[in-house]
Amino acid sequence: MVETNIQLRDKRILEIGCGHALPLIYCLQRGAHSTFQDYNHEVIKTLTIPNVIVNSNAAIQTLHQPRFISGDWKHVNQLLKDEKFDIILASDTLYSIQSFRKQIDLINDHLDSGGICLMAAKSFYFGVGGSMFEFKQLVASEKRHHLEVVKSINDGTSNMREIIGIRLKEN
């Protein structure tokens, strides 16, 4: 978003698995309607909310009151009902193959037409079984999405990483 200069003011943005929530805090600072989600309520309460308070001013928080939700992605999908987002963000959420289906369902159900899901992840998660390669294969097998590699990071000092963009195909 920084490199591509995506306009964020008044965009509806959901970050799944937010943790410290730095990407969505950046969006909130630029006037986005921000929904922060993490599996653990304790993470939201003790990490995410304090980080949002410290890193965004009261005027921004008042203009677009941030929302915080917790729970499993299947539960979050039901909680959001028919709500749609212009942008869905995720980082390091592909460490478990068992969670792939829930993430894809959440994207399918809550990404607005014309919206984009930006997902950053390691190419491989050693010891836990998830990988960007397997996730991209599953997304491609549905034939419902346009998937592009936005950026590859292979600096030789750490695990390879990718950022992918997922858009819904128009019917």
Strand partners, 149: 164
Chain region(s) in the chain for CATH 3.40.50.150: 1-71, 90-171
Alpha helices in 111-158 (DSSP H): 132-142
| Per-residue pLDDT at 100 exceeds 80 | yes
Average pLDDT, the chain: 88
* Average pLDDT, integer, range 85-110: 91
Q: What is the pTM of this model?
A: 0.90
Could you name the CATH architecture of 1-71?
A: 3-Layer(aba) Sandwich (3.40)
Could you name the CATH architecture of 90-171?
A: 3-Layer(aba) Sandwich (3.40)
Cα–Cα distance list, 150 to 33, 153, 161 (Å): 24, 10, 11
The Cα 143–Cα 138 span in angstroms is: 9
Q: Name the pLDDT band for 2 (thresholds 50, 70, 90).
A: very low
pLDDT digits (tens, 9 = 90+) for 51-94: 998 887 765 655 678 999 999 988 888 899 999 999 999 998 88
| Per-residue pLDDT at 117 exceeds 90 | yes
